């Protein structure tokens, strides 16, 4: 059988999984905290919150931004989770075309912003190729919308010396088995905005209003912690 995906795991991941089993602390433990701290440091942001999938990461980010009843701009080319999350969060999606790099076209975006006045714009960094974040953030400052980076396919990607996921107001990641930072399943929301961080917390663990349990297990976090340390090397190998 030819596998579509084949993550690279070592004895280190196996030993961590065994350690977690022996400890009995299989959720809400040190590995989740360590991964969140290290991933925040890697991205250059203040806060990272792990969740159970990339789709949930987008949903939580959109809820934190308060999109219910508001327009949200997404690119025409992305995995369906991008637009699904908008619907699930109660937003109204507005689709704009992509440029020659298959990421959101800033000119098309400005036309849509003028017409629809969205609350949030979701550029998708696709196949490790970042959207034109300079142009998008300039439009954000001019028109006053939030920027949520869909970084599910851009772990370690760079835009002018900064990591994808650290350039907008908030970002979402996926750690699905096929990603270059795999946990099997999982996701994360990242931000440097303290107010948004407080809103995120309300949605991930039975918050101040009706919410969900979208936590990951210690097993996923432990595997992710080791995979994060290998990320740059693995990205270079893929190139």
In a domain, 21, yes or no: no
By CB atoms closer than 10 A (0-12, 13-18, 19+), residue 7 is: middle
In a domain, 122, yes or no: yes
Quote the CA–CA distance of 122 and 135 in Å, as a whole number: 13
pLDDT at 2: 62
In a domain, 3, yes or no: no
B/e letters for 170-199, b = 16+ CB within 10 Å, e = fewer, are bbbbbbbeebbbbbebbbbbbbebeebbeb
- Give the domain extent around 109: 28-238
In a domain, 78, yes or no: yes
Residue 80, sorted as left (phi over 0), alpha (psi -120 to 50) or beta, turns out to be alpha
Which long-range contacts link 34-41 to residues 24+ away (Cβ below 8 Å)?
34/221, 34/225, 35/221, 35/222, 35/224, 35/225, 35/228, 36/188, 38/225, 38/228, 38/229, 39/188, 39/190, 39/224, 39/228, 40/190
Return the CATH number at 224: 3.40.640.10
Pull the structure tokens for residue 105: 């076209």
In a domain, 41, yes or no: yes
Per run of 10 residues, the mean pLDDT along the chain (length 239 residues) is 74 96 96 99 99 98 98 98 98 98 97 98 95 98 99 96 98 96 97 98 80 92 97 86
pLDDT at 1: 60
pLDDT at 10: 92
Fill in the DSSP letter of residue 100: T
Task: Give the other-Cβ count within 10 Å of 101's Cβ.
Answer: 13
Residues 6 or more apart from 26 whose CB is under 8 A from it?
A: 20, 217, 218, 219
**Overall domain count for the chain:** 1
pLDDT at 154: 96
In a domain, 9, yes or no: no
In a domain, 15, yes or no: no
In a domain, 20, yes or no: no
């Amino acid at each position: 059988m030819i596998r579509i995906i084949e993550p690279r795991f070592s004895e280190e991941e196996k030993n961590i999984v065994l350690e977690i089993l022996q400890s009995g602390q299989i959720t809400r433990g040190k590995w989740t905290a360590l991964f969140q701290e290290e991933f925040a440091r890697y991205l250059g942001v203040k806060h990272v919150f792990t969740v159970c999938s990339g789709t949930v990461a987008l949903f939580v980010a959109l809820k934190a931004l308060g999109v219910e009843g508001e327009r949200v701009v997404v690119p025409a080319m992305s995995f369906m989770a991008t637009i699904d999350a908008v619907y699930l969060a109660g937003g109204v999606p507005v689709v704009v075309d992509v440029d020659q790099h298959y990421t959101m076209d800033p000119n098309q975006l400005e036309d849509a912003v003028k017409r629809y006045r969205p609350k949030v714009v979701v550029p998708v960094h696709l196949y490790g190729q970042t959207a034109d974040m300079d142009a998008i953030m300039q439009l954000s400052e001019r028109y006053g919308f939030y920027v949520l980076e869909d970084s599910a396919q851009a772990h370690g990607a760079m835009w002018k010396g900064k990591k994808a996921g650290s350039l907008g107001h908030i970002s979402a990641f996926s750690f699905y088995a096929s990603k270059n930072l795999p946990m099997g399943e999982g996701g994360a929301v990242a931000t440097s905005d303290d107010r948004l961080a407080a809103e995120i917390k309300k949605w991930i663990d039975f918050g101040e209003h009706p919410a969900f349990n979208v936590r990951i297990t210690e097993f996923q976090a432990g595997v992710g912690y080791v995979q994060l340390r290998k990320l740059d090397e693995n990205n270079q190998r893929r190139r």
